[in-house]
C-alpha cells in the first residue's frame, strides 16, 4: 500500500467525510472515532458530516453528544434511503475531496489511506471494492452480479474496468462532487451518477468487515427500487427493446399467418386453431402489458422530475442550532 506520507500535498488539502446513517446510534460513535483516528494519523484536515436519514433511535443526538467541532450532524426530515442522504451530504461538503462511507463499520477505514493516495495520484473517483462477497448468501451474490450485468448491458454502468458489483464506498474529487451536485434529478442512484459522470475512475480492493451491530437496511424491495432507478435513469434500452420485441412478435405473427394460409391452400382444410389462437392472444397480451409497464416507468419518472420537488429537507443541523427550542408532542 502506498504510504500517504509520501504525498506532501495532503497537508494543503482538505477532506469531507460523508456518512449516511439510519438507526445507527449503537455504531456511529465508534465509526466516527475510527475514521477520525485514521485521518488524524495521516495529518489530514477534515470534517465529518453525519447525514441522519430520519432515524428513530437517537442517532442525531448520539453524534451531537460527541461535541466534536470536526463532526457535524445533519438530520433529514424524512427517511429517503442512503443515496439521497449521501447526495444531501455532498451538497454540504466543503473539502477538496469527499469520502462517502457507511456508518456500520463494514467499510474498513484502513482502505482510506490507499484511496487518498490514488486521488493524490490523479484519480477523480476512487472506488473501494470488496475482495470477496464470501460472507453473503449465494442468492445475494448472484443477484448483485445479475444486477450489474443488466446495468452494463443497458449501458448504465460505464466505468471501464471497475466492477461496481463489489463497490461499497468511494472517494471523489471536488470537481466530481460539483458535477454530481449540478445534476438536479431526484430519482437516481448515486453510484449511477458517478459512473455516468466519467472523469478518471480507479479502484482499490479492501477486506469488508462484518457489521458491528444492527442489520442491513437493504431489503429486497429496496434493491429492486435502486436497480429500477439506475436502469431507467441512465438507459433508454428498455424503450428501444419494446420496439424490437414488438417487431419480432409481429413478424412471428405474420409468419404464423402465412403458414396457416399455406396449409389451408395445400390441404384444402382449415387448421384447427383454438389453442394456438389462445396462446398467441395471451403471449401478445402479456408482452403488451410489460411494454406498457416499461412506458409507465418512464412516464412516472418524467412526472416526478417535472414537479421539481427537492429530494430532501434538513430538519436539524448541529452547526446551526435553532435560536429557540420548542416543546414537541
Select 5 or 78, whichever has its Cβ closest to ligand UDP. 78
104 part of the interface to ligand UDP, by CB under 6 A: yes
> From the CB of 70, what's the least distance to ligand UDP, in Å?
19
- At closest approach, how far in Å is the CB of 47 from ligand UDP? 18
Which of 33, 218, 220, 320 contacts ligand UDP by CB under 6 A?
218
Count other Cβ atoms within 10 Å, centred on residue 200: 14
- Asked if 96 interacts with ligand UDP (CB under 6 A), we say no
**Is residue 85 within 8 Å of residue 14, measured between CB atoms?**
no
Nearer to ligand UDP, 15 or 32 (CB): 32
CA distance 137 to 281: 40
Under the binding rule (CB under 6 A), the answer on residue 79 touching ligand UDP is yes
- Contact flag: residue 21 with ligand UDP (CB under 6 A): yes
49 binds ligand UDP (CB under 6 A): no
Grid cell listed for 172: 471523489
Q: Which residue sits closest to ligand UDP, CB atoms considered?
A: 216
Q: Nearest distance from residue 23's CB to ligand UDP, in Å?
A: 7
Q: By CB under 6 A, how many residues form the interface with ligand UDP?
A: 16
| β-bridge pairing 14-21 and 97-100 | parallel
CA 16 to chain centre: 19
CA distances 137 to 133, 143, 184, 206, 212, Å, are 9, 10, 36, 19, 18
- Does 20 sit near ligand UDP (CB under 6 A)? yes
Q: Does residue 85 interact with ligand UDP by CB under 6 A?
A: yes
The reply to whether 106 sits near ligand UDP by the rule CB under 6 A is: yes
Q: Give ∠ CA 159-165-166 in degrees, rounded to 5.
A: 100
Cell of 218: 437493504
Exactly one of 141, 145, 200, 217 binds ligand UDP (CB under 6 A); that residue is: 217
Residues ≥6 apart with Cβ < 8 Å to 200: 122, 123, 124, 125
Under 8 Å between Cβ of 189 and 233 = yes
Per CB under 6 A, 77 contacts ligand UDP: no
Look up residue 9 and give its DSSP letter: G
Q: Minimum distance from CB of 301 to ligand UDP (Å)?
A: 20
Sheet of 314-317: strand order equals 201-206, 125-130, 167-173, 97-100, 14-21, 45-52, 71-76, 314-317
Q: Which stretch binds ligand UDP (CB under 6 A): 15-23, 178-186, 296-304, 316-324?
A: 15-23
> According to CB under 6 A, which residues from 237 to 296 bind ligand UDP?
none
Select 235 or 318, whichever has its Cβ closest to ligand UDP: 318
Contacting range for ligand UDP; rule: CB under 6 A; set: 76-84, 248-256, 273-281, 319-327: 76-84
Q: Closest Cα partner for 92 from 71, 70, 74? A: 74
What is the binding site for ligand UDP (CB under 6 A)?
20-22, 24, 53, 79, 81-82, 85, 102-104, 106, 216-218
Amino acid at each position: 500500500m502506498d504510504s500517504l506520507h509520501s504525498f506532501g500535498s495532503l497537508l494543503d488539502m482538505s477532506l469531507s467525510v460523508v456518512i449516511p446513517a439510519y438507526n445507527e446510534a449503537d455504531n456511529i460513535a465508534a465509526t466516527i472515532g475510527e475514521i477520525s483516528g485514521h485521518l488524524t494519523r495521516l495529518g489530514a484536515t477534515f470534517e465529518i458530516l453525519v447525514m441522519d436519514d430520519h432515524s428513530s433511535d437517537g442517532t442525531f443526538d448520539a453524534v451531537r453528544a460527541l461535541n466534536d467541532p470536526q463532526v457535524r450532524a445533519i438530520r433529514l426530515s424524512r427517511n429517503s434511503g442512503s443515496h439521497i442522504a449521501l447526495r444531501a451530504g455532498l451538497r454540504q461538503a466543503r473539502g477538496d475531496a469527499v469520502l462517502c462511507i457507511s456508518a456500520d463499520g463494514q467499510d474498513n477505514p484502513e482502505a482510506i489511506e490507499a484511496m487518498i493516495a490514488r486521488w493524490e495520484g490523479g484519480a477523480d473517483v476512487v472506488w473501494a471494492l470488496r475482495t470477496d462477497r464470501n460472507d453473503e448468501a449465494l442468492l445475494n451474490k448472484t443477484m448483485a452480479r445479475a444486477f450489474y450485468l443488466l446495468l452494463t448491458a443497458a449501458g448504465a454502468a460505464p466505468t471501464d474496468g471497475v466492477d461496481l458489483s463489489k463497490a461499497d464506498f468511494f472517494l471523489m474529487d471536488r470537481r466530481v462532487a460539483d458535477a454530481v451536485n449540478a445534476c438536479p434529478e431526484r430519482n437516481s442512484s448515486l453510484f449511477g451518477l458517478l459512473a455516468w459522470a466519467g472523469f478518471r475512475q480507479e479502484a482499490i480492493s479492501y477486506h469488508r468487515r462484518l457489521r458491528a451491530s444492527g442489520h442491513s437496511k437493504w431489503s429486497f424491495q429496496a434493491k429492486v427500487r435502486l436497480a429500477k432507478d439506475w436502469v431507467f435513469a441512465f438507459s433508454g434500452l428498455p424503450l428501444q427493446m419494446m420496439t424490437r420485441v414488438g417487431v419480432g412478435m409481429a413478424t412471428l405473427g405474420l409468419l404464423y399467418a402465412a403458414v396457416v394460409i399455406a396449409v389451408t391452400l395445400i390441404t384444402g382444410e382449415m387448421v384447427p386453431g383454438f389453442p394456438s389462437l389462445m396462446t398467441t392472444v395471451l403471449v401478445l397480451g402479456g408482452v403488451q402489458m410489460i411494454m406498457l409497464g416499461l412506458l409507465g416507468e418512464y412516464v412516472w419518472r418524467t412526472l416526478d422530475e417535472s414537479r421539481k420537488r427537492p429530494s430532501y429537507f434538513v430538519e436539524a443541523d448541529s452547526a446551526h442550532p435553532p435560536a429557540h427550542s420548542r416543546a414537541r408532542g
